[in-house]
Amino acid sequence: MPVVSYYVHRTTSSSIIDNMKKISFIIVNYKTPVLLERCVENLLNIWPNKEIIVVDNDSQDDSVSLVKKRFGRNKEITLIEEPNNGISAGYNKGLEKATGDYYCYLGTDAFPSREAVEKLISYMEADENKDIGIVTPMLVLSDGSMDWDAHRGFSTPWSSFTHFAGLNLLFPKSKIFNQYFQGYKDFTKPHEIDVCISHFMLMRKEVIEKIGKWDEKFWVYGEDLDICYRTKKAGFKIMYLPDIKVLHFKGATVGRKYSKEVEGAANISQSIKNRLTKGTVIAMELFYKKHLAKKYPFFINWLVFLGIFLMKFVRGFLVKKH
């Protein structure tokens, strides 16, 4: 896996050093010891004032022993061993130990460069950007393409319908038919979005202080959708910076088929994969009930829940076939 070729290390600029903010890198790991080692090694070299908090969700593999052996004497690294109560619970455990000015949530499959982190912090520290709560770069997949899941709108009934009906693919630049991925935005400059993903998300400490921690009802999937919604509801902006790019080995942490070529991708049991499959629909239902159901009339909600029921049935059927 050619991870090293994506690392860009250079001397930190004097303007940033003069007002060095502390970053708490928070990683939730499950069964990716090889990626975890490389992820931590990368983070050790990209920002002087930092702490790296690794929360292991009961991997029952080499992950914990590897961190202890390779990084046990490094005071910048904290290892937390937890039962697998989901990614939100893992992030919350990490937050209990975090002391940074910024929280950077990332998966073991994300590899930011020093230059990327410097630019992100510089952007957030600009006086005119104090109302920005979360910032994210363009996540780039191993084939060089853009990860659209990191550039999304909220899952309203209309945006979800156009997405699952494939209308966003037919009209990718349409503001009407592609609200799901917001492909109509101007990618030549920074712009506001609704949702990024927790595989790489840089957040001000003040956001958590104002909105509270991650909602642990979202076991896997939907946790970033929920926290982004609450962030914007609290008056913060979420900005996407397309000129800053971070490598993302998408799917490697959840054992998806197309990530098998990635060395160190998670080797997850079929039962966990089945739970993940069901979790996508459960997350939709949780988010809609929590944030959107009260905004729509009965007949719209009825149609939404009917669609969710049908998706549960279809994905449940696919799970049974395995």
Give the domain CATH number at 231: 3.90.550.10
Tokens at residue 76, please? Answer: 């910048």
**Same domain, yes or no, for 146 and 277?**
no
The whole-number pLDDT of residue 4 equals 35
**Same domain, yes or no, for 91 and 209?**
yes
The whole-number pLDDT of residue 11 equals 45
Strands (E), the chain: 23-29, 50-57, 77-82, 102-106, 110-111, 132-140, 191-192, 200-204, 237-248
**Cβ-based neighbour number of residue 35 at 10 Å:** 27
Percent of the chain whose predicted confidence (pLDDT) is above 70: 86
The whole-number pLDDT of residue 254 equals 63
- The mean-pLDDT minimum among 89-103, 232-246, 262-276 falls in 262-276
The whole-number pLDDT of residue 3 equals 37
β-partners of residue 80 are 55
**Same domain, yes or no, for 231 and 316?**
no
Distance CA 147, CA 128 (A): 28
Q: What are phi and psi of 159, to 5 degrees?
A: -65, -35
β-partners of residue 203 are 103, 134
**Same domain, yes or no, for 240 and 281?**
no
Residue 254 forms part of a structural domain: yes
Res 8 pLDDT > 80 = no
**Same domain, yes or no, for 217 and 89?**
yes
Distance CA 42, CA 181 (A): 30
3-state helix, strand, coil in the chain (%, to 5): 45, 20, 40
**Same domain, yes or no, for 10 and 79?**
yes
- The mean-pLDDT minimum among 114-123, 236-245, 246-255 falls in 246-255
Please tell me the total count of domains within the chain: 2
The whole-number pLDDT of residue 9 equals 41
Residue 186 forms part of a structural domain: no
Instruction: Calculate mean pLDDT across residues 162-181.
Output: 96
**Same domain, yes or no, for 55 and 110?**
yes
What does the CA dihedral 140, 142, 144, 148 come to, rounded to 10 degrees? -40
* Domain enclosing residue 318, as ranges: 269-322
**Same domain, yes or no, for 263 and 274?**
no
**Same domain, yes or no, for 128 and 19?**
yes
Residue pair 274/319 in contact (Cβ under 8 Å)? The answer is yes
Read off the DSSP letter of residue 12: P
**Same domain, yes or no, for 67 and 95?**
yes
Residue 170 forms part of a structural domain: no
Question: How far, rounded to the nearest angstrom, does the alpha carbon of residue 17 sit from its chain's CA centroid?
Answer: 27
Res 142 pLDDT > 90 = no
Instruction: Calculate mean pLDDT across residues 226-231.
Output: 98
**Same domain, yes or no, for 144 and 276?**
no
Residue 320 CB-half CA count within 13 A: 6
Distance CA 134, CA 207 (A): 8
**Same domain, yes or no, for 244 and 280?**
no
Residue pair 119/241 in contact (Cβ under 8 Å)? The answer is yes
